[in-house]
Amino acid sequence: MATIDASFTPARPARRTDWLGRAAAFCFLSIAAGQLLFTAFILLFYYPSSLSGDFAAWNSKPLIKGFVAGDTGGNLFFAVHVLMAAVITFGGLVQLVPAIRNRWPAVHRWNGRLYLLSAAMLALGGLWLTWGRGTWMNLTGAVGISLDALLILAFAMLAFRSARARRFAEHRRWALRLFAVASAVWFMRVGYMAWGIATGGAGIGQAMDGPFDLFLAFANSLLPLAVTELYIRAGTRGTPAARKGVAALLAVCGVVILAGSAGAWMMMWSPYL
């Protein structure tokens, strides 16, 4: 793991030896730990049932609208969605490991194409599940996750275009933003758990319509995006004080993510395996 650092910072990479680089590496490792747990859950819970056609097994876990008897199209969309969810979650981590990019550029290119394809499929399929199949508990939540889908589609296009044009500093910026918003669904679960641990669930409503639910409906993509933006700016043209400030922020984020990921594994995922 010593090879994971923050050198994906555009233009002026944060060196591993400075605080920004160290904090970014710590934050990335926390994200990697949490996303590997999410990937493990998807592989163990959704893959066997989806690949064997035993779609009814999805409903052993609380879902808004998982398997619905007679809804062949909707069930197939759901199956493709959860199968691609593991691909994007694991694939995003692989893209951010500098050793893989440097030693095996072909892996980075092909995994990058797969990542962009899965991002587009999850965003478009997720929009259909939300609005076409009618899978939502309240309108604010549906609008919030739809905004995330639009951000994923826009950033995926910009990351692809800049890579094709060989504008690599720009490509890294769009790829980091894409990673932030493509991880929103996972951030939301981790955010709920971290908040639950800290406050005992204050502001969470029965129908996910409490103040915290409404905040997280948009914060699941906009908060990681804002932190990513600060990190990009601190890395390229930040003053020493700004770099230290962002380093402290990333360290706090890393701790919150570790706590939230442990909570998600214990409360949301492992009970159903």
Closest distance of CB 147 from ligand HEM, Å? 9
CB-closest chain residue to ligand HEM: 126
Helix or strand run (H / E) with residue 90: helix 72-95
Which tokens belong to 76? 């197939």
Return the number of the residue (3 or 59) whose C-beta is nearest ligand HEM: 59
Closest distance of CB 89 from ligand HEM, Å? 5
Contact indicator for 98, 7 with CB cutoff of 8 Å: yes
Return the number of the residue (65 or 244) whose C-beta is nearest ligand HEM: 65
Closest distance of CB 115 from ligand HEM, Å? 10
Contact indicator for 86, 43 with CB cutoff of 8 Å: yes
What residues line the site for ligand HEM (CB under 6 A)? 42, 63-66, 81-82, 85, 88-89, 122-123, 126-127, 129-130, 135, 145-146, 148-149, 152, 182, 185
Return the number of the residue (20 or 42) whose C-beta is nearest ligand HEM: 42
Closest distance of CB 84 from ligand HEM, Å? 8
Helix or strand run (H / E) with residue 191: helix 184-199
Range 194-201 contact pairs with CB under 8 angstroms and sequence separation of 24 or more: 194/256, 194/257, 194/259, 194/260, 194/263, 195/260, 196/263, 196/267, 197/259, 197/260, 197/263
Q: For residue 126, give Cα distances in angstroms to 93, 118, 143, 146.
A: 21, 11, 12, 8
Return the number of the residue (95 or 135) whose C-beta is nearest ligand HEM: 135
Which tokens belong to 208? 């996910």
Return the number of the residue (255 or 266) whose C-beta is nearest ligand HEM: 266
Task: Give SS3 for 30.
Answer: helix
Return the number of the residue (82 or 227) whose C-beta is nearest ligand HEM: 82
Q: Is 81 exposed, middle or buried (0-12, 13-18, 19+ CB in 10 A)?
A: middle
Return the number of the residue (75 or 162) whose C-beta is nearest ligand HEM: 75
Q: How far apart are CA 40 and CA 70, in angstroms?
A: 29
Closest distance of CB 248 from ligand HEM, Å? 29
Task: Give SS3 for 182.
Answer: helix
Closest distance of CB 3 from ligand HEM, Å? 25
Closest distance of CB 166 from ligand HEM, Å? 27
